[in-house]
Amino acid sequence: MCNKVKNDVENYKNLIQSIFNESISISPQFSNNTNNCIGALFVNDSFKEFSKNFKERLQRLKNAYTTLDEKKEVLEKIKNIAEEEGVGWAGPYSELVVLDLLSDLPYIRDKDIIKVKDLKIDDKPNSLAERDGQSKIDIDVNFKYKFYDFFADIKSFKPNDLEILNKILDEVRKKSSKKILIGIDNFISYGFCETNKLLPQKMKEIVQYLLEEINNNSKYVTYEFDSKYKYSFRIEYLESNNTLMTESTKSPYQLATADSFKLLNYSNKLLPSDYSFLILVKNPWFNCEIDDFCSFNKIYYRSLCRRLFIEHGKDNTPAKMHFPKMKNYSISIAEISNSIAGVLIIEDNSIVQKSNKLYDVYMYLNPNYKCKKTLSVFDLQSLFSGSKLCELKDMDDFFDDNY
């Protein structure tokens, strides 16, 4: 355990120095920063399991990525974690998780895991990115298995609407003249597209509305949009109560329906003639919606990917109708769906390790993939064999469930 010296950033820099024998330079504006990740590393024994797993991961990364370019890339991600506020650390943290896992897989050819940064459009003509007027394609990792070449984009698997709502609640806590506990009651996810349309436009209005209700000592508040959507908030005042209880019920199928468009938002990461995967990393500190009660997570993951591959694979609606930032009306939802070879979901058990494996993995392959030969479970069944770090929990190609 690293001794407390000054603040979390200083302790973090000392930790990295002790493992890599190299210092990282944190931007001055983040010199006093903290977040759940770096803060948990130096809180005595409260998060001993997470701290242990984090440090062991760094040691493995140091041993696995030894060239100058590789080491520079790893240290950049490590540095980025300390320069993020809120749950912003989830992005670079997720990339480190994936690099750690991939370097552990015995059957990845020659350990050929590389960072592909700003791939030129000219090298991949007819990509969705090129058709939508972009000049580059940013891919996170490229790795080879058997005679397959995979390109993947890495994302932290966090609920988009909950992230925005938490920013609203943080703003309310800062501006409130009263000491309060505030939370979202009976949270319902309305989906990626609806959230992106509604919440950012209404953030200031919701904050002001909640502050007015707090001044009136309200304990239960509902904010309703002009449409059918609404969010409920529960408030407790610290003068009379030091606890806050909120309720939440959810169905894995309902959540999958709400989230299914989220994965279509990465069309600019897909290559026209290569196996393009999406890799999603889930950690309870940036996604508490998905848990293992009654196999909720497995049901949710399967349902999410079936909707992505099968339901959306037949949808010829212009994608721009759902994603206004897109420029090309001729790109359909189905085209995006059919360009995703598969989805790999990694559950990071760093906080409380549920078994002797640090990562649980779920892989789902697209039966309607159009760019190359469709992959089956038989093509990838040994990919995770012999791993010391991960356990394959589920894999499916939906070949017999494609209707």
Digit-coded pLDDT (tens) for 229-265? 888 999 988 865 555 554 455 688 888 888 888 899 9
Q: Which residues contact 68 (CB under 8 A, 6 or more apart)?
A: none
| Single-letter amino acid code for the residue at 14 | N
Average pLDDT over residues 48-72: 93
Residue 293 has φ and ψ, to the nearest 5°, of -70, 125
**pLDDT at residue 397, rounded to an integer:** 97
Q: Which residues contact 222 (CB under 8 A, 6 or more apart)?
A: 230, 231, 232, 233
pLDDT at 334 over 50: yes
Q: Where are the alpha helices (DSSP H) in 84-139?
A: 90-104, 128-131
Digit-coded pLDDT (tens) for 169-213? 888 988 999 888 888 887 777 777 777 778 888 899 999 999 999
Q: How far is CA 192 from CA 178, 212, 292, in A?
A: 33, 28, 23
pLDDT at 309 over 90: yes
Among 76, 141, 79, 41, which Cα is nearest to 350's? 41
Average pLDDT over all residues of the chain: 88
Confidence of residue 2 (pLDDT cuts 50, 70, 90): very low
pLDDT at 284 over 80: yes
pLDDT at 21 over 90: yes
Q: What is the 3-state secondary structure (H, E, C) of 161-185?
A: HHHHHHHHHHHHHHHCCCCEEEEEE
pLDDT at 386 over 50: yes
**pLDDT at residue 293, rounded to an integer:** 63
The residue ranking higher by pLDDT, 185 or 298, is 298
Confidence of residue 4 (pLDDT cuts 50, 70, 90): very low
Average pLDDT over residues 376-393: 94
CA distance 367 to 124: 23
Q: What's this model's pTM, rounded to 2 decimal places? A: 0.87
* Beta-bridge partners for 223: 231
Confidence of residue 289 (pLDDT cuts 50, 70, 90): low
Average pLDDT over residues 66-81: 92
**pLDDT at residue 243, rounded to an integer:** 55
CA distance 106 to 267: 30
**High-pLDDT (> 70) share of the chain, %:** 93
**pLDDT at residue 290, rounded to an integer:** 61
pLDDT at 161 over 60: yes
Digit-coded pLDDT (tens) for 109-157? 777 777 777 788 878 888 999 999 988 888 999 999 988 999 999 999 8
